[in-house]
Structure 1
Amino acid sequence: MIHSVYSFGYNNQGQLATRDTVDRRVPCRIKYLDTRNINRVIAGAEHVMATTVRDGRTEILSAGCNDNGQLALGYDCGHVSSMRSSFAATGNVVDICAGSFHTVMLSSKGTVVSWGYNNEGELGLGHAHHKNKPTVIKALTFKTITNIYVGSSHNFALSSTGEVYGWGKNGHGQLSLGHFNDCTRPVLIKSFNVNHLRRVIHLERTSGERSRDWIATLLPNLRRRSSGHDQHRDADPYSIKSISAGGNHTIILTNNNQVLCCGGNGMGQLGLSDAQDRSTVHWLQSLKSKVITNVFACSVHSMAINENGSLYVWGGNQWGSLCTGDFRNRYIPTLVTCFGIERIRNVYSSHCSFHCFVTTNHGKLYGWGRNDKAQLACVEMETINQPLHLKELESMDGGMVVDICVGIGFSIVSMSKGVVKVDPYRIQCVKFFDVDIFYERLQKQS
């Protein structure tokens, strides 16, 4: 359970939910959320949303930019600097994801709704008109959607049968449709079909590897067919395990730990050794034996974690987003070596930001990338190209980091419950505590 929420960085649209539009160079506790039993916080480019349960129903709170209905308040306005109640969802909320300027939500009944900006059809409603309140995506009705994946302006939905539907911006081929036209309503992504993914991987192998793999794969398939068993997507090693939608590219991970990609590649974010966009999925051969367990499509770069907690990065590196100690783009996956014996446990990144946080198996929190608005809770440097250990941030109020969401130039940290131990001789700690509480406890100690 989230006990406290802190925000810091850019605040021109009130996205920090601090009841003003003043930037925060140090973490600021959002006190009025302490009693709201927050379950989750998500961030878009300039807006944030939180979920809480009230009277048995999931309530959505929102703050930030609302010029195109991003906050689902039922009206458009410039911005909102305090978390407001947007609406109460009917049924339990399975997932809620923010694009740059839109939001998509999945209910326990498999219903998918969307709201906000819609110029490229990212709401999936068959038109390009913005919506300032939740609207059901009718094209996904009766599809039994189990997962949603939201990028900056493009989206995917995975059904219980393993079918993937995509919609939104497709100017770089990020929907893997074989063309570069936007889609205003969900369409079946045939290239994400398990048989097509298997074919892509086998065709891109060397001839020697291909022949051995065809034999190894064909025999089990023939046995399953002869025995009459259903080939459920979870049982097929080439079915999709997860999808990560980035700024203008897409990374997918199969159940047998293979990575495929499509979309924009101007900075090398597809990891295919060139800068050419792809309108259909391609296999990332350089990661074939790394046993990748999670993938992250960010703004113009990508990351992946393997079973040992090693981090691989590739793509744009203008702001040090790759954590390689320099600012050179990488066109193939590159192992990040500066963590030593520590292993990456969680990655907190975004499709619209240039900064990132990770936690390790040692319980440490690190951050790197763009920091011109102190979005990494560090006021000394505007760009950080190697891991910065955020000691104070990782244990604010004596708690632990539950989640971090990031937007353009800002960050929101959710903390678990903990006990604050105030040392009156370390006044520099004031910047990471709620000021009023700090002085109350300081007076009690004296």
Structure 2
Amino acid sequence: MVRKATKRTKTASGATSMRDSPKEEDVSDQTSPQSEDNMPASNLQGAGRRRGRPSNPLKRSSESAQRDEESEAKKLKKLELLQAFDSLPHGVMLCLGTGEFGQLGLGENTTTRKKPALVTKDLEGKRIKKIVAGGMHTVCLTEDYQVYTFGCNDEGCLGRNITDDEEEFEPGLVGGALEGVRVVDISAGDSHTAALSDDGAVYLWGSFRDSHGKLGLVREYKIESAPTRLVSLNRPIVKIASGGDHVAMIADNGKVYTMGCSEQGQLGRIARYFSNRGGRRTAQLCLHPNPIHLPRLNKTSPHARDVFCGIYSTYIVTTSGDVFACGLNNYHQLGMPNEEEDFFNPVHVPLLSDRPWKMFAGGMHHLILLDEKGDVYALGRGDYGMLGLDSNDNVNKPTKLPSLKNICRVGTGSTVSYAVDVSGEAYAWGMGTNLQLTTGEEDDELSPVAMSGKNLEDRAVLAVDGGGLHTVVLACDKSDFAKGGDS
């Protein structure tokens, strides 16, 4: 199937926009002037010296020892990232839902699937460890640290050279700057993809968008159609997460860096006045990764342990278990009831700081939470049943889903939600229009239903994620699952 160079597509949020076909560009990260947090240590040290003053040998010795300590810390962090990735179970990828732009990976003759279908072609025989669904594209990470993509490539989010539209409908290897890199984590949004290497480097490709159109990725208003390393980050990154059009990253020092669209406050560091693209510096401020400054609690500076993103929001869990959030709150999905719609600075969320959380999954206007006991909670917009509370009512505080027990993972699409239990059974609920729930019907499901299909009969589900129109499943043979458990 051949499409025109410019076509009308839908974003994960359901909005319709015109997207231009990207031109192949291969650039390094070129961003605005660095803040003190991002400035190389050598620059900071040199800035404080007076010309002509002799250097202090004791100071040099101290600086050398500090560099040695930092080097050892980086080696340990790299080892931790590798060990965490290597310990993950592996499986195969299945897709279902609506895939008119290739996001099912089943070839251009299959654009709709009511039940999970196995994605093969270049993934045949590959051991897949991570899967993520972008707005209209799909990304997976294999055991040998390689990234494969398929789906809509209008903004370059597949990260590979596409010579024929047919190539978008089948998985293909992302090369370029990722060649020889050991990738250990991936994330994806409406029209961008991110990858994290074992040495803490972040690679991005595609583009962010805002209400005015293309915002750019690392260069203003420019698409990056191949992986581009964020060289402006001076610290190793240990975790990445993507919203619809923004990325959040935790550095090894516990700070959270953000970049992308800030119109709803999701970056947590740009004032409302500068977040609407009108000022000359707006794109610069948005595209240059800088840290969020979390408010002090009990005279203590918080350090991030984990970060999660909804389509228009960011959630930060600290080492003390406190939760901070920023972004869109129009359905109280940040956990801030009876408050303003947007939070442009991170706020402490008491309603989410009363228990230890294992995982958050954010959709367009709702949030699904998993606690350490294996219980699932929901809050935000209730339309289409996406909260799983047997109604369409909105909820402004975390409310437990009584039918779900012993859950180990949760996931969301724009208007759907998922959960996986420790035995490898998966559940889905929410909007049925796009056939994302495995029921085979277009009816909404107001409560969790067991995901089913011939390709799941002899497989245990490891993870589920959703895009704007499709669902992605990672599953393994039940015999292998019994050997390795859900670790």
Q: TM-score, normalised by structure 1?
A: 0.77
Shift of 1:363: 4.5
Provide the residue aligned with 1:360 in structure 2.
Answer: 421
Provide the residue aligned with 2:263 in structure 1.
Answer: 171
Shift of 1:418: 4.2
SS of the residue 1:416 aligns to = strand
SS of the residue 1:135 aligns to = strand
SS of the residue 1:91 aligns to = coil
Provide the residue aligned with 1:191 in structure 2.
Answer: 293
Provide the residue aligned with 2:105 in structure 1.
Answer: 17
1:208-246 deviation digits (Å, cap 9, x = unpaired): xxxxxx5xxx7xx8xxxxxxxxxxxxxx8x421111111
Superposition pairs for residues 319-338 of structure 1, below 5 Å?
Answer: 319-338=384-403
- Gapped regions of structure 2 (runs ≥ 5): 1-88, 276-281, 481-487
Q: Please tell me whether residue 136 in structure 1 is matched to residue 229 in structure 2.
A: yes
Provide the residue aligned with 1:316 in structure 2.
Answer: 381
The correspondence for 2:207, drawn from 108, 117, 137, is 117
Superposition pairs for residues 394-405 of structure 1, below 5 Å?
Answer: 396-405=456-465
The correspondence for 1:100, drawn from 172, 178, 190, is 190
Does structure 2 retain, via aligned residues, the 8 Å contact 1:367–1:390? Answer: yes
Distance 1:169 1:157 in 2: 15
Distance 1:154 1:63 in 2: 20
Q: Given the superposition, is the C-alpha separation of residues 295 and 30 from structure 1 closer, same or farther in structure 2, using an over 3 Å criterion?
A: closer
Distance 2:361 2:403 in 1: 19
1:70-89 deviation digits (Å, cap 9, x = unpaired): 11113587561111223153
Distance 2:196 2:101 in 1: 26
Distance 2:194 2:452 in 1: 34
Distance 2:296 2:409 in 1: 27
SS of the residue 1:348 aligns to = strand
SS of the residue 1:388 aligns to = strand
- Gapped regions of structure 1 (runs ≥ 5): 199-213, 222-235, 421-446
Superposition pairs for residues 40-439 of structure 1, below 5 Å?
Answer: 40-52=130-142, 58-75=145-162, 80-87=168-175, 88-120=178-210, 124-140=217-233, 142-180=234-272, 181=275, 183-192=285-294, 196-198=295-297, 214=298, 238-274=302-338, 275-339=340-404, 342-350=405-413, 353-361=414-422, 363-392=424-453, 396-418=456-478
1:354-376 deviation digits (Å, cap 9, x = unpaired): 11211234543211011112111
Amino acid at match of 2:100: N
Q: TM-score, normalised by structure 2?
A: 0.71
Q: How many residues align?
A: 373
Amino acid at match of 2:335: G
Shift of 1:189: 2.6
Does structure 2 retain, via aligned residues, the 8 Å contact 1:246–1:297? Answer: yes
Single out whichever of 401-410 and 356-365 deviates more from structure 2: 356-365
Single out whichever of 168-177 and 397-406 deviates more from structure 2: 397-406
Shift of 1:190: 4.0
Amino acid at match of 1:242: D
% identity of equivalent residues = 23
Does structure 1 retain, via aligned residues, the 8 Å contact 2:264–2:344? Answer: yes
Amino acid at match of 1:138: V
Provide the residue aligned with 2:125 in structure 1.
Answer: 35
Structure 1 runs of 4+ off > 6 angstroms? Answer: none
Single out whichever of 65-74 and 23-32 deviates more from structure 2: 23-32
Shift of 1:91: 2.1
Does structure 1 retain, via aligned residues, the 8 Å contact 2:217–2:223? Answer: no
Does structure 1 retain, via aligned residues, the 8 Å contact 2:101–2:169? Answer: yes
What RMSD over aligned residues (CA atoms) do the two structures have, in Å? 2.6
Does structure 1 retain, via aligned residues, the 8 Å contact 2:146–2:173? Answer: yes
